[in-house]
Structure 1
Amino acid sequence: MDDLLQRVRRLAGPEAAPDPALLAELARSQDVTLVREAGRHLAALDPRLVTPPGRTPRPLRVAVVPSFTADNVLPLLRVGLLAAGIAPTFHLTAPDQQLMALGRPGSPLDDFAPDLTLCLAHEDVFLPRDWDPTDLAGLAAAVDERAGRYTAAVASFAGRTTGSVLLHTVPLPSAWPRTVTSHRSRAGIGRLWRELNLRLLDLAERTASVDALDLETLLADCPSRLRDERLFRFASMAWAPAVERLYAQEAAGYGRALAGLGKKCLVLDLDNTLWGGVLGDDGPENIEIGPMYPGNAYAAVQRTALALRRQGVLLAVASKNDPGLVERVLGEHPELVLRRDDFVSVHANWDAKDGSIRAIADELNIGLDSMVFLDDSPFECDLVRGSLPQVEVVRAAGDPAQHVNTLLSGGYFDVLDTTVTDARRTDLYRARVERREWTERQGQASPADYLEGLGLEVTIRAADAYLLPRVIQLGGRTNQFNLTGSAHAEAETRRMAGSGDHEVLGFAVRDRFGDEGVVGALWIARHPDHWIVQNAVMSCRVFSRGIEFAVLAAVADGARAAGATRVEADFRDSGRNGPAARFLADAGFTPRDAPAADGTLRHVLPLEPAPALAPAWISVRDERPVPTEG
């Protein structure tokens, strides 16, 4: 404890050296007091001092709107968000101001303009102080009335904010039902309370900018009582420290998803990680995998990995093993859950694992900071942490029955929503490997001949109800080709898509190897004499083919047809969007004026004479409505 706190305190010194490993160690710590104290010290420090090299913390304005004293939640949140790659700015409302802050336009909460609003509630929001245990119908009516006030206030704020709102289900302390002596009536209270929580979950399901954590379910694994009753009576602290930490970790995971920083690839060790035993020593027939312990624990890890793959997470292998034996097991072992086709890349060799992980990242054209590495070996874990600090390393230590919880507890792969593209992602990346192999066979073909041979087709569509989820996901998760580095709030994207003076576009790509799906999006403000590309994002899967120029050409044509004389576009260096940095200049844009306070630089492209942007090797199908002159 003292060592970690000393490292935090040293960062405040005049000659402080960066400590990029600190946050990961704090995130793994089980000492809530230590993490909370570290979070308080980190509030005064530059986030870059604790950020791994090659990463820039993403700013996020976070409002915490509690019904109880939640001051201790903020430092825990700070540690969790910083560890997720987010530099938070906090706004905390007073507990007795929750409904007023949410329900009244023009409140200080509105003025703060949060990207994320966390609504923390305890049972007193919904339960009357005095109630008759013999009148459950009266209690139900009181809870319903109070729940109506709470959900109305949340809905009011959700309609005003351009950010996201995160609710949670509310746990009921065990003393409440035990106040009732009748077991039948206790069951009635349980039903009543679950109906309340269903009401909160329903609000999240039907409101675009609202999500919910099922805190009641998460607490099933919390090794703590809900709260210290003395501190609750004395200081209105409704949650025990362990519950505060649990909530902070889950909320930080949501923040990671909101900021588009969820991980994309799970790299797996094999021996004593996906199966028990050492393949080279024990042989394929004797590895531990199957219906009996410990084989069923390893099978659970494989089923979990398969579930992640079905939701868009890429699976890869980095194992020190004989490649022939690995291929044999993946292809033939009758008890294996995962098969070779479930992996986009398998590196089974005797090379150092950090090199294999780097090779996988290069092969898939993804950033190291989008990868999670699961291994049982402390040596391999320390090696990767030291040489590739961008990679999230998870050690599968101890009893294999705990490996699933160890992998999932970090929330590394959380997203706001999944799409059809997610389910196809493994196939899309496998097609990329085929595409690369075809490229290598082209030998000395010129770049133009190579691109012509791909048979590229781009389809551009206005974002409708079916396309919006994928556009929102791209806006939140795309980091490399992202002109402003921004993660677009769902509510704002939906508002723009439905307004007459904006346009939200998605574009899909296919080539000779198949359909890549929807790979990019643009957010455009339309004015009578000019259009502004407020942001454009594109998946790294389709880099280096000229697709972004083909899409921009269609946008420019649409602007000219509507009577505009120029297209403007914003660029802001996020530290992660290097691939987008040259795009505007290469397309003929020139900077206008000086950068804004946040570093955003506006660029201008005249439309007379008409710019020649569209690559000859790309066929474009523009399915947008025909524009009219403004």
Structure 2
Amino acid sequence: MLDEKKLSYYLTKSKSLENNFEKSTRIAILSSFTLNGIEEIFKVKCAEKKINCVTYLGGYNQYNQEILNSESKLYQFNPDIAFLILDTRSLLGDLWYSPYSLDAKQRKEFIEKKFEEIKNLIQTFMSISKSKLIISNFPIPTKSNYGIFETKSKFGFQKMIATLNEYLQDFISNLDPVYLFDMNGFVTRHGENNVFDPKQFLFGDIKISLDFIPHLTNDLIGYVIATLGLAKRCIVLDLDNTLWGGIVGEDGFDEIKLGSGPPGNAFVEFQKYLLGLYDRGILLAINSKNNPDDALEVIEKHPDMILRKKYFACMKINWNDKVSNMKEISEELNFGLENFVFIDDDPINREFMKSSLPQVLTVDLTPDPSKHVKILEEMNDFNVLKITYEDSKRGLMYSQQKERKDFEKLSSNLQDFLKNMELKVTIKKADNFTIPRISQLILKTNQFNLTTKRYSLEDIQKFSQDDNMLIGCAQVEDKFGDNGIAGAFIVQKNGTKEWILDTFLLSCRVMGREIEKSILGYIVKTAKDSGVEKIKANFIPTQKNKPIENFLPDCGFKKQDNSWIILLNETFQIPDFITVEEK
């Protein structure tokens, strides 16, 4: 279980938070029972991630009134994220102890009625608020008055709750702004007897023990991370005593601990879990003080090694210090240090990383390798609202990126390299398939991003239905493979003569290939075909978007007051080595 601090720590810490925030969010918490201290915990945990968190805690068991009244304080607060935490006892009322006072048909009708009530709450909330709504499912009690006969009962006590959870999950699965928090899983993971304290319940209707409210909040923070696009992108791993037991340079290839029996099987399990993260889009890299030949022999030839060389986007296996290696990995993968997680068994290396590069999330491993998987499972730093096609293929894309760089080194100059890359850009309109990726790019992209405006999935969906907006994206392919959707744009059609380039961005994976000019060329052509005379744009500089600083003037935009203007009475030249298609 996560080594979580006590509630008293958060109550004290919340009074003296440092004002060094980079993001902000407004969080509303509604519940059917008492959640003492949850506001303070949210504020402290968000502050640790440099998020300014403003909270609203609904009145005790007032969630129905708050949601159904369009003039309530909830809607006046205007949250970005709203959590609705419900419990099984409140749902069942007197049926908690006497569910079999109703026959099976009546129990089913009762559950269907409760589902309709919850469904109505969700639909009402969606009709009034633009906030994301995270609603909990219901813990399934482990005990029944019917004892061992419970499993023989037709639509019994436990089946009632399980069925309601199924109804809820099926309904929410098709609602983009609504997500399900697995409260049943939370209680199962931590133990019903731990989470529920009967004395606290009878004293103040506290249905989650005060000791476990920090654990609950930690899980809920995952939705904040996902909503703000702050998920980590790459896990950087040590090798000796991290991916295998022992030191290969001293113990040798045959004596390291990696295999079907303990303790080697703990490292195999850890690698399997990491491979699962890789498959959903988390990059892996190596940062190891080691003899490269010894380490690579294990990676490529050991029969029990799960993570082969092809799974690592970058490998720094040398005798340099790990901070220097980490900086090089960041430069090579071309995204900021705040996107990395560092995992190393050596506490000295971890402290050195923490003190030198605090932007990197350094994970404290225990000496027991059997706990490594559990530590990663309890982290909330990899959460995203959608897992896209590009996510699932990200590891492969970065492997192909290495081939591109090797090919570039063999080219005599940049123009020859680009001409031989067989670049193809496919412009796609915003639809149900592309909108999740467009939103993901807008939330994450920092470097080649004209304004760094952040729009949610729901914002993009709304824009796509507006005839006065042009929303699109660009899929980029070359001779080495498919980069996926790597660019996005939002254009405001400001009347018939002038369009405004609201958002324009490009993934760092495809920077330096003049892809941006082909995308802009499509926008210019579309504007001309619509009779537009000029396109207006703004560049909003940040600490991270210097790579796009010269984009507008390089493409023919002229500075006019505080904006950039391009007149469309001249031909806009798209690079001749890029094939552009529209879909």
Q: TM-score, normalised by structure 2?
A: 0.91
Q: How many residues align?
A: 577
1:245 match: 214
Correspondence for 1:270 among 210, 224, 239? 239
1:86 match: 51
Asked whether the equivalents of residues 463 and 497 of structure 1 are also in contact (C-alpha less than 8 Å), the reply is: yes
The residue correspondences of 1:359-374 to structure 2 (distance < 5 A) are 359-374=328-343
1:620 match: 580
Distance 1:178 1:509, change over 3 A: same
SS at match of 2:371: helix
2:365 match: 396
Shift of 1:365: 1.1
Shift of 1:84: 3.3
* 2:67 paired with 1:102: yes
Shift of 1:185: 4.8
Cα distance in 2 for residues equivalent to 1:577 and 1:164: 28
Residue type at the aligned position of 1:392: L
Cα distance in 2 for residues equivalent to 1:297 and 1:228: 34
Distance 1:552 1:369, change over 3 A: same
2:15 match: 41
Per-residue deviation, residues 130-188 of structure 1 (Å, max 9, x unmatched)? 6553325334433332232122111222244333221222225567x348795345981
Shift of 1:589: 4.7
SS at match of 1:89: strand
Distance 1:136 1:244, change over 3 A: farther
Cα distance in 2 for residues equivalent to 1:173 and 1:592: 67
The residue correspondences of 1:227-246 to structure 2 (distance < 5 A) are 227-246=196-215
Tell me whether 518-527 or 271-280 shows the greater mean CA deviation.
Answer: 518-527
Asked whether the equivalents of residues 552 and 613 of structure 1 are also in contact (C-alpha less than 8 Å), the reply is: no
The residue correspondences of 1:252-267 to structure 2 (distance < 5 A) are 252-267=221-236
Residue type at the aligned position of 2:47: L
Cα distance in 1 for residues equivalent to 2:76 and 2:502: 23
* 2:500 paired with 1:532: yes
Cα distance in 2 for residues equivalent to 1:143 and 1:283: 62
Shift of 1:592: 7.3
Asked whether the equivalents of residues 559 and 565 of structure 2 are also in contact (C-alpha less than 8 Å), the reply is: no
Shift of 1:39: 4.5
Cα distance in 2 for residues equivalent to 1:580 and 1:87: 28
Distance 1:489 1:161, change over 3 A: farther
2:514 match: 546
The residue correspondences of 1:362-511 to structure 2 (distance < 5 A) are 362-443=331-412, 445=413, 447-511=414-478
2:293 match: 324
2:322 match: 353
Asked whether the equivalents of residues 7 and 211 of structure 2 are also in contact (C-alpha less than 8 Å), the reply is: no
Distance 1:47 1:170, change over 3 A: farther
Residue type at the aligned position of 1:389: P
1:513 match: 480
The residue correspondences of 1:281-360 to structure 2 (distance < 5 A) are 281-360=250-329
1:600 match: none
Distance 1:480 1:159, change over 3 A: farther
Residue type at the aligned position of 1:490: L
Shift of 1:296: 1.0
What runs of 5+ residues in structure 1 fail to find an aligned partner? 1-26, 49-56, 595-602, 624-630
Distance 1:281 1:426, change over 3 A: same
1:194 match: 162
Tell me whether 547-556 or 581-590 shows the greater mean CA deviation.
Answer: 581-590
Distance 1:454 1:253, change over 3 A: same
Shift of 1:318: 0.9
Distance 1:99 1:526, change over 3 A: farther
* 2:29 paired with 1:64: yes
* 2:559 paired with 1:609: no
Per-residue deviation, residues 510-538 of structure 1 (Å, max 9, x unmatched)? 22332211102123333432333332332
Distance 1:211 1:240, change over 3 A: same
Per-residue deviation, residues 173-219 of structure 1 (Å, max 9, x unmatched)? 567x3487953459811111111122222232111111112121133
Distance 1:72 1:606, change over 3 A: same
SS at match of 2:335: coil
1:127 match: 92
Cα distance in 1 for residues equivalent to 2:515 and 2:76: 40
Residue type at the aligned position of 1:155: Q
SS at match of 2:452: coil
Shift of 1:561: 1.8
Shift of 1:271: 0.9
Cα distance in 1 for residues equivalent to 2:43 and 2:542: 20
SS at match of 1:254: helix
SS at match of 2:55: strand
Residue type at the aligned position of 2:308: R
Correspondence for 1:566 among 531, 534, 538? 534
Asked whether the equivalents of residues 180 and 186 of structure 1 are also in contact (C-alpha less than 8 Å), the reply is: no
Cα distance in 2 for residues equivalent to 1:320 and 1:494: 48
* 2:163 paired with 1:203: no
Asked whether the equivalents of residues 172 and 178 of structure 2 are also in contact (C-alpha less than 8 Å), the reply is: yes
Correspondence for 1:153 among 121, 127, 131? 121
Tell me whether 547-556 or 614-623 shows the greater mean CA deviation.
Answer: 614-623
Distance 1:321 1:228, change over 3 A: same
Shift of 1:331: 1.3
SS at match of 2:92: coil
Asked whether the equivalents of residues 524 and 572 of structure 2 are also in contact (C-alpha less than 8 Å), the reply is: no
SS at match of 1:551: helix
Distance 1:199 1:483, change over 3 A: farther
Asked whether the equivalents of residues 568 and 604 of structure 1 are also in contact (C-alpha less than 8 Å), the reply is: yes
1:73 match: 38
Cα distance in 1 for residues equivalent to 2:271 and 2:375: 14
Per-residue deviation, residues 337-366 of structure 1 (Å, max 9, x unmatched)? 111111122221111111112111111112
Tell me whether 607-616 or 77-86 shows the greater mean CA deviation.
Answer: 607-616
Asked whether the equivalents of residues 126 and 147 of structure 1 are also in contact (C-alpha less than 8 Å), the reply is: no
Distance 1:569 1:231, change over 3 A: farther
Per-residue deviation, residues 70-91 of structure 1 (Å, max 9, x unmatched)? 3411121222223334222222
Distance 1:592 1:182, change over 3 A: farther
Distance 1:580 1:606, change over 3 A: closer
Asked whether the equivalents of residues 301 and 403 of structure 1 are also in contact (C-alpha less than 8 Å), the reply is: yes
Q: TM-score, normalised by structure 1?
A: 0.85
Per-residue deviation, residues 412-449 of structure 1 (Å, max 9, x unmatched)? 22211212222221221122222222222334x2x444
Residue type at the aligned position of 2:204: A
Residue type at the aligned position of 1:473: Q
Residue type at the aligned position of 2:15: H
Cα distance in 2 for residues equivalent to 1:172 and 1:422: 33
Shift of 1:274: 0.7
Distance 1:401 1:485, change over 3 A: same
Cα distance in 2 for residues equivalent to 1:347 and 1:499: 48
Cα distance in 2 for residues equivalent to 1:549 and 1:537: 11
SS at match of 2:4: coil
Residue type at the aligned position of 1:225: N
